[in-house]
Amino acid sequence: KVQRETRQLPHLRCRSEDSTTIDRQLRIIFAHLQKHLAKTNNLTKELGIINKYKQRDAAEYLEKILCLTSPEASKIFRGELTHSATCLKCNETNDSRGFFWLLPLTVEDLPHQTCSVENGLEGFFKGERVCRENKVYCNRCKEKQSARFRCKMTQSPEILTLLLKRFQFDYKLRCYVKLHLNVEVPQTLHTQHCKYDLYALVNHFGSLTGGHYTAHIKSFETHTWYHFNDDRVNSVMPPLFGTRNTFLRSPTAYLLMYRKGYRPTKKPDKGLKQPH
């Protein structure tokens, strides 16, 4: 499947010290790609892939690769979130922290509303109130109470990866279907103390049960965008972003990768701007 039907917030599902790193296989592939086509047999074997022609979820295998690489190699993709649960009766707050490789953003096809990455991020960090049958146990009150849940980014990664959850349950078909609607993807995301610049995106064409992946990647040296489609690589003409365009509208974007830019101040980075 392209996407798991009940994807929750991704976190570290493995411990790097208990894993066999695949850094060597990655180095070999990248070295070969400098000169000619590279074979991935050894890498797919390390990832446990037997049938190479069966489509896998790109986000799932990105997480798997990051879990199997060394901590030094994967740390630039790792961020930290703090989850807070506040009792609405006594205001007791309990915090918990967890690492993440990527942030899943909900894609919604709503009337008279533009679907955008920025709206998805706002929804991700927006507080949620639970009550009635969803009440949670409060240690101070010694009983279940209504509560407010929120999360904030307490450690922003060097590479911020966003997953567009392009699936929705269809009650008529009684199954999940893929959403092909256009999503506004900004060239730059601004945080409280820095900015993130888009440098790569993974596209998916097809349905939840099958399809085709391509990628757009920007060169750090020349700032030229390239289109990767199996063994074919071409520069993108006209440019992915024009001189007056600060975002693109895409019906196929699935994974977005942003690189951290400058820091105007030396204050601790508290993550993306979030509603209070």
Rounded average pLDDT per 10-residue block, the chain, 276 residues:
36 46 91 88 89 87 94 94 92 91 88 84 87 87 90 92 90 87 93 86 90 94 92 89 85 95 53 46
Instruction: Tell me, rounded to whole angstroms, the distance of Cα 230 from its chain centroid.
Output: 22
pLDDT of the residue at 20: 61
Give the pair of three-digit tokens for residue 253: 């974007």
CA distances to 59, 221, 252 from 203, in Å:
11, 23, 5
pLDDT of the residue at 2: 35
pLDDT of the residue at 131: 87
pLDDT of the residue at 245: 78
pLDDT of the residue at 229: 95
Judging by beta carbons within 10 Å of its beta carbon (0-12, 13-18, 19+), is residue 10 exposed, middle or buried? Answer: buried
Give the global pTM. 0.83
What does the alpha-carbon distance between residue 186 and residue 116 come to, in Å, rounded to a whole number? 8
